[in-house]
Chains A and B, each alone.
Chain A
Amino acid sequence: MQSIPSNKSNRVMMSLKQMRRSPLMLLVHLSVLLLVLLWTFPTAGLLISSFRDKDQLAVSGWWEALSSSEQNLIGRTDAPDQQVLLDGEYVLAGKIEDFNPKDEILRFGWTSQEPEAYLAGSVAKMRDGGTLTVAGDGRYSMASPTPFTGSRGNRVFYTALASPKFTLDNYDEVLHSEGIGQSFINSLTVTIPATIIPILIAAFAAYALSWMRLPGRGILIALVVGLLVVPLQMSLIPLLQLYNTIGGYFGVSAKSYLGIWLAHTGFGLPLAIYLLRNYISGLPKEIIESARVDGANDFDIFVKIILPLSFPALASFAIFQFLWVWNDLLVATVFLGNGEHELVLTGRLRELLGSRGGNWEILTASAFVSIAVPLTVFWTLQRYLVRGLLTGSVK
Chain B
Amino acid sequence: MTSSTGLTLKNIKKSYGKTEVLHGIDLDIKLGEFVVFVGPSGCGKSTLLRMIAGLEDITSGDLFIEGHNVNDIPSAMRGIAMVFQSYALYPHMTVYDNMAFSMRIAKEDKATIDERVTSTAAMLQLTDYLYRLPKALSGGQRQRVAIGRAIVRNPKVFLFDEPLSNLDASLRVQTRIEIANLNESLKETTMIYVTHDQIEAMTLADRIVVLSAGKIEQVGTPLELYGQPANLFVAQFIGSPAMNIFTVTLIKSGELTSIQSQNGHQVDIPIKSHSDIENQTLSIGVRPEDFRLADQASCMLSGTISFVESLGEVTLLHLDSAESKVPVIVKIPGIINKHKGETIYLTVDADKTHLFDANGISLRYL
Contact = CB atoms under 8 A, between A and B. Distances in A.
On whether the two chains bind one another, the answer is yes
Interface of A: 1, 3, 284, 286-287, 289-296, 300, 304-305, 308-309
The SS class assigned to the A binding surface is helix
Given A300-B105, A308-B92, A309-B92, A293 B86 contact: no
Contacts of A304: 101
Can you list the 7 inter-chain pairs with the closest CB atoms, starting with the nearest? A295-B76, A286-B88, A294-B102, A290-B88, A286-B84, A308-B92, A295-B105
A289 B88 contact: yes
B123 interface: no
B101 A289 contact: no
Contacts of A309: 91-92
A293 B166 contact: no
A216 to B, nearest CB: 17
Contacts of A3: 166
Interface in B171-225: none
B81 interface: yes
B90 interface: yes
A293 B105 contact: no
Interface of B: 53-55, 74-77, 80-82, 84-92, 101-102, 105-106, 134, 142, 149, 153, 166
A290 B82 contact: yes
A296 B76 CA distance: 8
A293 B82 CA distance: 7
A296 B93 CA distance: 15
A305 B55 contact: no
A300 B166 CA distance: 28
Which interface residue of A3, A290, A295 has the most chain B CB atoms within 10 A? A290
Contacts, number: 63
Contact of A293 (B55, B85, B106): B55
A304 B92 CA distance: 10
Which interface residue of B55, B106, B149 has the most chain A CB atoms within 10 A? B55
Contact of A294 (B85, B87, B149): B149
Given A1-B87, A284-B86, A286-B86, A293 B92 contact: no
26 contacts: A1-B86, A1-B142, A3-B166, A287-B88, A287-B89, A289-B53, A289-B55, A289-B84, A289-B88, A290-B82, A290-B84, A290-B90, A293-B54, A293-B55, A293-B80, A294-B76, A294-B149, A295-B76, A295-B77, A295-B102, A295-B105, A296-B76, A296-B101, A296-B105, A300-B105, A308-B92
A293 B53 contact: yes
Contact of B81 (A284, A286, A293, A296): A293
Contacts of B80: 293
A68 B53 CA distance: 80
Contacts of B77: 295
Nearest to B57: A213
A243 B138 CA distance: 58
Contact of B90 (A289, A293, A305): A305
B7 to A, nearest CB: 16
Given A284-B86, A309-B91, A309-B92, A291 B81 contact: no
A44 to B, nearest CB: 40
Contacts of B153: 294
A289 B90 CA distance: 11
Contacts of B75: 292-293
B87 A291 contact: no
A25 B240 CA distance: 52
Which interface residue of A1, A292, A309 has the most chain B CB atoms within 10 A? A1
Nearest to B74: A292
A293 B86 CA distance: 15
Contacts of B89: 1, 287
Which interface residue of A286, A296, A305 has the most chain B CB atoms within 10 A? A286
Given A284-B86, A293-B75, 11 more contacts: A1-B142, A286-B88, A287-B90, A290-B84, A291-B90, A292-B74, A293-B54, A294-B102, A294-B105, A295-B105, A296-B101
